[in-house]
Amino acid sequence: MTGRSLSVMFAANRIKMLSALDIGFTSAFSMVASVAAARALGVEAFGFFAVLWTLTLGLQAVAQGGYVDVLLRLPRETSAAAIWGIDRWAAPVLGVFAALVILLTAFSSYNSLALIAAGTLSAYLLIRHTWTRAYMHSQGDAALSTAISAILAIGSVVCLFGGVAFDLSGPWYVVCCILAPYSVASLLSLRYTRSVRADYDPSVRIWRWDYAMESALLVSSLHVASVMVVPALGLEFSAGVRGANLLLGPLSVLFGSLRLILLPAFAGRSMGLRSMAAPAVIILLAAGLWASLGWALLGAVGSSILGDALGATITVFPWVAATYLLQGVYMVLFFASRAWVLDVHVRRARAVMLIATGAAVAVAHITKVPDGYFVGTLTGSALAIAILASGVSRNARRASARGRRAPKPS
pLDDT digits (tens, 9 = 90+) for 346-374: 778 878 888 888 888 898 989 888 888 89
Which of 357-361, 388-392, 399-403 shows the lowest mean pLDDT across its residues?
399-403
Q: How confident is the model at residue 120 (pLDDT cuts 50, 70, 90)?
A: confident
Q: What pLDDT, on the 0 to 100 scale, is given for residue 249? A: 81
Q: Which residue has the higher pLDDT, 385 or 280?
A: 385
pLDDT digits (tens, 9 = 90+) for 91-114: 666 677 777 676 666 666 677 777
C-alpha dihedral, 188 to 201 to 65 to 317, nearest 10°: 40
Q: What pLDDT, on the 0 to 100 scale, is given for residue 230? A: 86
Q: What pLDDT, on the 0 to 100 scale, is given for residue 242? A: 92
Q: What pLDDT, on the 0 to 100 scale, is given for residue 340? A: 59
**Average pLDDT for residues 271-278, to the nearest whole number?**
65
| Domain layout of the chain by residue ranges | 3-195+209-405
Q: What pLDDT, on the 0 to 100 scale, is given for residue 406? A: 43
Q: What pLDDT, on the 0 to 100 scale, is given for residue 119? A: 78
Over 70: is that where the pLDDT of 410 sits? no
Q: How confident is the model at residue 315 (pLDDT cuts 50, 70, 90)?
A: very high
Q: How far apart are CA 198 and CA 152, in angstroms?
A: 28
pLDDT digits (tens, 9 = 90+) for 192-220: 766 555 555 555 556 666 666 666 665 55
Query: How would you label 257-293 residue by residue, b for 16+ Cβ within 10 Å and e otherwise?
Result: bbbbbbeeebeeeebbeeebeebbeebeeebeebbee
Which of 89-98, 278-287, 323-332 shows the lowest mean pLDDT across its residues?
89-98
pLDDT digits (tens, 9 = 90+) for 39-80: 998 898 899 888 888 887 777 777 666 665 555 555 555 555
**Average pLDDT for residues 120-133, to the nearest whole number?**
77
Average confidence score pLDDT of the chain? 76
Q: How confident is the model at residue 403 (pLDDT cuts 50, 70, 90)?
A: low
Contacts for 54 with CB less than 8 Å, ≥ 6 apart:
220, 223, 224, 226, 227, 238, 241, 242
Half-sphere exposure of 136 (CA within 13 A, CB side): 26
Q: How confident is the model at residue 275 (pLDDT cuts 50, 70, 90)?
A: low
